[in-house]
Structure 1
Amino acid sequence: MATFVTRDGTEIFYKDWGAKDAPTIVFHHGWPLSSDDWDNQMLFFLGEGFRVVAHDRRGHGRSTQTDTGHDMDTYVADVLELAELLDLNDATHVGHSTGGGEVARYAARARPGRIARAVLIGAVPPIMVQTPANPGGLPLAVFDETRAALIANRAQFFLDVPSGPFYGFNRPGATVLPGVIQNWWRQGMMGGTKAHYDCIKAFSETDFTEDLRAIKVPVLIQHGEDDQIVPIANSAHLAIDLVAQGTLKTYPGLSHGMATVNADTINADILAFIRS
């Protein structure tokens, strides 16, 4: 397994596949998952001639189950170190959900030349929680309920989320995919419960408004119109007005987990964006 140790002693697991001189795509996973959530995309883009890189965020997957550093600044500092270690230049960074926030902050802070474009899929920016400046956000009580469910029975909660709203399997007529549910559960249970608990605050309360404004590279924003986890009205519809070079592509009826259950559609649009 490939790992590196950050400046604060955290071991980060990562995958790095493909020719090192090929155009690079870096994938950033959502909560509470791991780089395995990008299996389809990693294989697809590798087959298209790209170098593909993905890491397990600290506390998640195979990375150290540290009890500290579960905030967006530290998450991005880890990615900055990974980019330096692998000397990733002119890369496309693709982030889903929490990973979309990570990409937005990374894009705003990365050294010039490190990032060429960004893709945000069902992403949390600009900010999820309801505040006076963000009256359309979700009430803090929603995230308090998530924390309470995690504490009460993490294993059951990590079955309930993918069985229902994450992939839209709770919608009438939905084709339920048990393997997808089990894989979500597997990835979640690999990580540390302290990391997962703290990350709820990171993904829900971090304000990415200024990060989005600071991004200088082209940005593709992809969002399912039936996203029950990160509602489109308070995320993609706001984020597109904050980026300088943005393209918004929405998908009628698709869920938060569309990169998995509708991978062919999502992959084709990312590929077209990169090659445009």
Structure 2
Amino acid sequence: MNEDFVTTADGTRIFYKDWGPRDAQPIVFHHGWPLSADDWDNQTMFFLLEGYRIIAHDRRGHGRSTQTFVGNEMDTYAADVAALTDHLDLKGAIHVGHSTGGGEVARYVARARPGRVAKAVLVGAVPPIMVKSDDNPGGLPIEVFDGFRAALVANRAQFFLDVPSGPFYGFNRPGVKVDQGVIWNWWRQGMMGGAKAHYDCIKAFSETDFSEDLKAIAVPTLVMHGEDDQIVPIADSALLAIKLLRHGTLKTYPGLPHGMATTHAETINADLLAFFRE
């Protein structure tokens, strides 16, 4: 097992975990905002025990990576992933992205060099585009994301408690058992990152248009989405993304929240494994 950093062209240090047999098929996990590679702990351990090689990185400005002032946008995020996959010389990798990480996967996979990527998975992912516009009338109003920015500037620590305590994991739904450890772990990961990078990333995940990236992806792609996702509503994300993918498969989950890979890890892991083995 190895944990290390790769240094990108602009001097940013990207933290990554590289666990498991070097000759096994690699799975690269891309986390959501404002979290870190640790958000994939349930999947990391499951697939490590299934014999896969596991790579999970902290996006720039997040977790243990450099708290960058610039470059907190999707083109640079994808370039950072390319730097990591080149550094590790990954071939035939499966890239799995949650939420913002799903956007990162879409942009990277669409541009990846031949042979680098075998399959892709988008879990509760932001593509094609989140923000409402004349071209995307079903999106969320810009005021929603302005509210995120205002809350982050006013009191990031409280904001990073409110999100996981409520809509992220569906803990605001009647009858749902609240897992305090999951809430605090979300808070812990969020507070490790940089406020400026997190602020910039709100624009990156909400206003980036991934439509052309989705059209360009040539590998089999699984789109997984909770039907009760309150953060990235399914109607304007997965249900549109699947129409743009050449080799896409859509799997939706009644009643499951945005953070379903944590709250319902057994279900999600089983479906991921089935897709990996196809």
Alignment partner of 2:188 out of 186, 189, 192: 186
Alignment partner of 1:171 out of 170, 173, 181: 173
Instruction: Please tell me whether residue 21 in structure 1 is matched to residue 9 in structure 2.
Output: no
Matches within 5 A, 1:117-132: 117-132=119-134
Structure 1 distance, partners of 2:68, 2:92, is 31
> Paired residues, what number?
276
One-letter code aligned to 1:79: V
Alignment partner of 2:130: what SS?
coil
Deviations 1:122-154 (A, max 9, x none): 000000001111111000000000000000100
Query: Which residue does 1:42 correspond to in 2?
Result: 44
Deviation at 1:176, TM superposition (A): 0.1
Query: Which residue does 1:60 correspond to in 2?
Result: 62
Structure 1 distance, partners of 2:134, 2:220, is 30
Query: Which residue does 1:275 correspond to in 2?
Result: 277
Contact 2:6 2:83 in 1 (8 A): no
Matches within 5 A, 1:231-270: 231-270=233-272
Over 4 Å off, 4+ runs: none
Structure 2 distance, partners of 1:90, 1:199, is 29
Query: Which residue does 1:136 correspond to in 2?
Result: 138
Deviations 1:176-209 (A, max 9, x none): 0000000000000000000000000000000000
Structure 1 distance, partners of 2:30, 2:203, is 18
Structure 1 distance, partners of 2:79, 2:108, is 8
Deviations 1:59-111 (A, max 9, x none): 00000001010000000000000000000110000000000000001110000
Structure 1 distance, partners of 2:248, 2:123, is 13
One-letter code aligned to 2:8: T
TM (normalized to structure 2)? 0.99
Alignment partner of 2:169: what SS?
coil
Alignment partner of 1:228 out of 205, 227, 230: 230
Query: Which residue does 2:99 correspond to in 1?
Result: 97
Query: Which residue does 2:205 correspond to in 1?
Result: 203
Structure 2 distance, partners of 1:134, 1:114, is 32
Q: RMSD of the alignment, in Å?
A: 0.5
Structure 1 distance, partners of 2:4, 2:25, is 20
Structure 2 distance, partners of 1:46, 1:14, is 15
